[in-house]
Structure 1
Amino acid sequence: MKKTALLTSALALATALPAAAQNLTVFDYSGFEDPAFHQSYIDTHGGAPEFVFFGDEDEAFQRLLAGFQSDVTHICAGSVPRWQASGIIEPWDAEQIEAFETLNADLVGQDVLSGSEDLYFLPTDYGSTAVAYNADELSEEDVTSLEIFNNPAYAGRLSIPDNVDDAYALAYLATGVTDWSDVSDAEFEAATEWLRGIHQNLRTYWTDPAEISQLIGSGEVLAAWVWNEVPVAMAEEGFNVGFSRNTTEGSSVWLCGYVNMVEGAGEEAQAYDYVNALLSDASAGPLLDSGFGSANDAALQALGAEALEASGLGEVTVPVLAQLPISNEQRERQAEAFERIKAGF
């Protein structure tokens, strides 16, 4: 009788707790825990998943290889080949992705949409990288070319991200390459030399959006290669900041999404509920307000051209380099060269 009562009490307590509680673990960048990004998941399960944060994807990768378990992990497209080769991720079932038919084809890839390849990487959010500038000190005419980073007049007052993908996207564009999927040795060397050439002009390699926002806002940095969320946040705080996506050589688009972990301990159904919440129509607005474009193109376009332009995701008339997955060999070659350049070699 006593045991039965205890079991009954335990069952009542369990059913009184939020259904989702901590049953799904999301390994992510800080900021994506915003409830507005996955409200339908919360509504369905009575609570948010457990979020664990990492600083960068190399750190995340090493922690997972060392035994940390997550159910879904947020990474960007450039990391996908290495993660797939490692065997720690498995394909998504496209039939369980509610917005699959309205995903942006340029972000997913035609092979995946046609069903001829497995969906190892599910795009959920994207943004642009271009030149932000202190509009109190520079005019739009001053930032019509990426060669601003080579201008000795601005030496010590320029910055680019401490991020190999963004750095090489900039360098390839500056040296005439708009598709990095199959660059030649000569194109790689030209981009590397360009990065080496601007090193002496840089105030810093920024690592955090708040850091570069402060540097631009104070006038310490006049122009920087940044993600579109930076000028959006700065404008909201009252800074006079410009964002030039139509530089002569072009601008870049980065792409991130979620991978399905092989060793996840949570319920697989909840993993699908989570990514479906992120890709829902209701999440597109909150994501855009934070500077992120939803990969659900129908939901994003429904917000209107004015909203897209205000968030730095409007249409451009210049070449765009999409930071889509590249081979492990190319990424490692770029990473090694970038580390040497930052060290002064």
Structure 2
Amino acid sequence: MIRKPALLASVTAFALATPVMAADPQLTVFDWAGFEVDGLFADYVAKHGTPPTFALFGDDDEAFQKVASGFKVDAVHPCSQMVSKYRDAGLIEPWDESRLTALADIDPEFLDSPVFKDDAGLWFLPSYWGATAVAYNTDQVPAEDVASLQVFVNPKYQGRTSMPDSSDDVWALAYLATGVTDWTAVTEEQYAAAAAWLREAHQNVYAYWADPSEQTQQMASGAVLVSWSWNDGVALLQAENYPVGFQREATEGSSTFVCGFVNMKDGPGSEDKLYDFMNSWLRPDAAVALMDELGYGHSNLKGMALKSEEDLEIAGLGHVDAPTLPQVPNNPQLRERQLAEFEKIKAGF
């Protein structure tokens, strides 16, 4: 795969990014930092002459709290476990399926939930998917050390691990490490075991990274040797030939996630431009830009067919023979409990 941005340039861009990147005033998209990839909205720019205005976030809960507090945008790009919160809060409205030109090409597995699609309509438009697994320095970390997720509690790596500052991702890790692969039916005993494991793992953590650029800085500097990672952090390191592996087949497994767009109720911009943006994002060849730049899989099956099996393996998107914990919508009360407990753990309690 060929990825254009150099690691240091990407780090600088992330660090200097402002919360709002103004362009087309008639469309504002609240998106993950780093997803302002030209190839994703190339058709939109060809039609309208400029990208939409991007407001950027680094965490799903941060994004929700901002729009729930009155921040007005036309669309938000959350991951699937957040959709019920947007629906319950009355912040979103269904998509008009007749205006989505590539809807029939979306992997139907990504819509297999009444939270996403029901008799009232399509509430969640899947855009990309990825894995959360073990990134590690292949020069300094033996493969046998990352054969198990217990590497995160191994005293050998005290102060040399990192995790995303994301409650969903760290709890996915903790559940996997304690033998749980379905977080939709967690018992009190399983919750307690995962919380105890997270507290132990916290003792090894150098930092909880806010975005992949921060993670890659930590690994590139040598401060961090093992990280619970998304695909894009690994992609940035691979592009600069850093010695990084992506272990998705640890004994206990790895996690998967799907993210997508929700249509904000009473968005301030142009509805026509919103659908132009979505149709550009979801067209098949956008999948190539997405994987080449960020290492993620696209929701469009025709787009994914444009990449080779070798490309999928390099990006960490190939088939794995290990357990997986899909980060599907789970109990909202449990999720809030996990979020509060994670904050305590980070604070040392």
Q: For 1:277 and 1:270, how far apart are their aligned partners in 2?
A: 10
Q: Provide Cα deviations, 1:4-26, integer angstroms capped at 9, x if missing partner.
A: xxxxxxxxxxxxxxxx9421111
1:234 to 237, 250, 264: 237
Contact 2:105 2:302 in 1 (8 A): yes
Amino acid at match of 1:57: D
* 129-138 vs 22-31, greater mean Cα deviation: 22-31
Amino acid at match of 1:170: L
Matching residue of 1:157: 160
Contact 2:117 2:123 in 1 (8 A): no
Contact 2:58 2:211 in 1 (8 A): no
* 26-35 vs 243-252, greater mean Cα deviation: 26-35
Matching residue of 1:299: 303
In structure 2, relative to structure 1, the CA distance for the partners of 1:184 and 1:113 (3 Å cut) is closer
In structure 2, relative to structure 1, the CA distance for the partners of 1:158 and 1:49 (3 Å cut) is same
1:81 to 79, 84, 94: 84
CA RMSD of aligned residues (A): 1.9
Matching residue of 1:106: 109
In structure 2, relative to structure 1, the CA distance for the partners of 1:105 and 1:113 (3 Å cut) is farther
Q: Provide Cα deviations, 1:53-108, integer angstroms capped at 9, x if missing partner.
A: 23433332233233321111111112211111111111112332222222122322
Contact 2:174 2:195 in 1 (8 A): yes
The number of aligned residues is 326
Matching residue of 2:144: 141
Matched, 1:197 2:200: yes
Q: CA deviation at 1:315?
A: 1.1
Q: Provide Cα deviations, 1:207-244, integer angstroms capped at 9, x if missing partner.
A: 22122212222322111111111111101112111111
2:290 to 283, 287, 290: 287
- Runs of 5+ unmatched residues, structure 2: 1-22
TM-score, normalised to structure 1, is 0.89
Q: Which has the larger radius of gyration?
A: 1
Matched, 1:244 2:286: no
Q: CA deviation at 1:115?
A: 5.7
1:332 to 308, 318, 336: 336
Contact 1:112 1:119 in 2 (8 A): no
Q: For 1:181 and 1:96, how far apart are their aligned partners in 2?
A: 33
Contact 1:232 1:312 in 2 (8 A): no
Q: For 1:332 and 1:277, how far apart are their aligned partners in 2?
A: 34
Q: For 1:45 and 1:185, how far apart are their aligned partners in 2?
A: 53
Amino acid at match of 1:206: W
Q: Provide Cα deviations, 1:239-274, integer angstroms capped at 9, x if missing partner.
A: 111111111111111221111010112222221221
Amino acid at match of 1:153: K
Q: For 1:110 and 1:77, how far apart are their aligned partners in 2?
A: 10
SS in 2 for 1:186: helix
Q: For 2:234 and 2:116, how far apart are their aligned partners in 1?
A: 33
